[in-house]
Each structure stands twice: as C-alpha cells, then as structure tokens.
C-alpha cells in the first residue's frame, strides 16, 4: 500500500502478449532514442526520410521519422522483440533488420542510387552526404572539387546538393548550389583571401582545368623520371 510492500512473489508464468505490449508501451514512453541506434542507421533513416519528402508520388517511400516510427511500433518493431522482457534487452535486438523491413525490395535496391550515402569527388575521396537538414549537404575541401563544373544532384536529378566548400582547415568558405557560378564569380576572391593564409596549398588560376587534390599540392605526372 503506497510505499509499504504487503507481499512479493516472482511471476514465473507471464503471458507473452502482455509482456510484449508492456515492452512496446515502455519504448513509446521512453522515446525512440532507447533503441540501439548507431551512426549508420541514423544516416539511413535521414536518407529514406529525404526520399519520402522529395519523391512522394514515386514508390511510396515510407516516413521513418522518429515520430512516425513511434506511432507504428506494433507494426514494424514487435516482430523483432520476441523473447525480450525489458528495455535492457533492446541492446541485442536487430534494429537494422526491423528498419530495413520498412522498404520494399525495389526501394531497397534503389536507395543507394537515389540517395547515396557518399559522393566521390574529383580528387577520388568518398565524402559522406548529410541528409539531416532540409537539403542534403556535401562538405568538402575546395581543392578536392577542382575540375567539376556542375553541382552534383541526387533523387534522380531532382535535388542539387548544397556544397559546403571548405578551407584547408575544414572551415566553410563558400556555401553554394551553383558550383559553375562559384568558379566564375566567387573563386578568385576566395583564392585571394586564402592564398595568404595557406601559401603551401594549391591555388590555380583556372580551377576548372586544374587537377583536384586531397593533398596540400596536386601531384605532378612524371615522364622519363622527370617531373
């Protein structure tokens, strides 16, 4: 009664359906953060949510936001909670399998093409794309984009990436969805400002015909042992 325990006895026989219902309720009350998310799964979630927004009429990409997942726990999560009796057991669950089950076979196959997790820039580096905001962002050092005129696009060409061009210190020096326009009108002012700060780095006069590099200086080809 209140703070006074009158009797305590173990429950050796618990109804599986009632345990599952209680566990689902506990997850709903605790919030989606109680599930064993990792960086990869949060990125996957953001990519699918992006396609849900920009391709609403195509293939019916599901809404896998935390709010929508919480409303449908019985549908997508319950089958993966078998044998679990408390929130501490969730660390062992197959959250990846539960989330991936939200997609059809065709959606699963097309996800990487429509919303790639990375983009290979002219330097050869694979740069992660951040889909967490309203527009997907590609943050990359400026020298790694030399030679690329057109802004990369995703979602079957419908969505240009928002390019965060970074200094050698990885600080944004320009944010643009018009890469061609930046090379023509903005690059030379940025070059003038940064060349004094980073004189050892590569600052060509013609960025569209320069060799992209992830190093301080672009490599030069050697012919017959000479640079």
Pair type for strands 126-130 and 159-160: unpaired
Distance CA 181, CA 199 (A): 25
Distance CA 57, CA 66 (A): 22
Distance CA 134, CA 136 (A): 7
pLDDT at res. 223: 42
Element (H, E) at 162: strand 162-166
Per-residue 3-state assignment (H helix, E strand, C coil) for 201-215: CCCCCCHHHCCCCCC
Distance CA 71, CA 80 (A): 16
Distance CA 208, CA 213 (A): 13
Locate tokens 């009158």: which residue?
Answer: 6
98 token code pair: 């539960």
Q: What residue ranges do the domains of the chain occupy?
A: 16-113, 116-209
Q: Tens-digit pLDDT profile for the chain (227 aa)?
A: 567 888 887 766 667 888 899 999 999 999 999 999 999 999 999 999 999 999 977 668 999 999 999 999 999 999 999 889 889 999 999 999 999 999 999 999 999 999 999 999 999 999 999 999 999 999 999 999 999 999 999 999 999 999 999 999 999 999 999 999 999 999 999 999 999 999 999 999 999 999 999 987 766 554 444 44
pLDDT at res. 1: 54
pLDDT at res. 224: 47
Enter the pTM of the model: 0.86
pLDDT at res. 14: 67
pLDDT at res. 109: 94
């Amino acid at each position: 009664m209140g703070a006074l325990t009158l009797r305590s006895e173990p429950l050796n026989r618990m109804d599986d359906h009632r345990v599952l219902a209680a566990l689902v309720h506990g997850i709903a009350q605790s919030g989606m953060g109680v599930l064993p998310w990792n960086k990869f799964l949060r990125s996957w979630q953001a990519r699918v949510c992006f396609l849900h927004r920009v391709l609403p009429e195509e293939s019916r990409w599901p809404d896998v936001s935390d709010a929508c997942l919480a409303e449908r726990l019985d549908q997508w999560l319950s089958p993966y909670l078998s044998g679990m009796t408390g929130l501490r057991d969730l660390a062992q669950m197959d959250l990846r399998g539960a989330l991936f089950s939200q997609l059809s076979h065709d959606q699963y196959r097309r996800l990487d093409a429509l919303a790639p997790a990375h983009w290979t820039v002219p330097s050869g580096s694979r740069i992660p794309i951040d889909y967490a905001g309203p527009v997907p962002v590609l943050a990359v050092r400026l020298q790694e984009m030399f030679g690329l005129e057109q802004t990369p696009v995703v979602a079957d060409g419908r969505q240009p990436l928002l390019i965060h061009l970074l200094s050698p210190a990885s600080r944004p020096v320009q944010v643009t969805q018009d890469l061609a326009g930046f090379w023509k009108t903005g690059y030379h002012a940025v070059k003038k400002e940064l060349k004094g700060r980073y004189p050892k780095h590569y600052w060509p006069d013609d960025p569209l015909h320069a060799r992209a590099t992830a190093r301080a200086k672009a490599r030069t080809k050697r012919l017959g042992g000479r640079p």
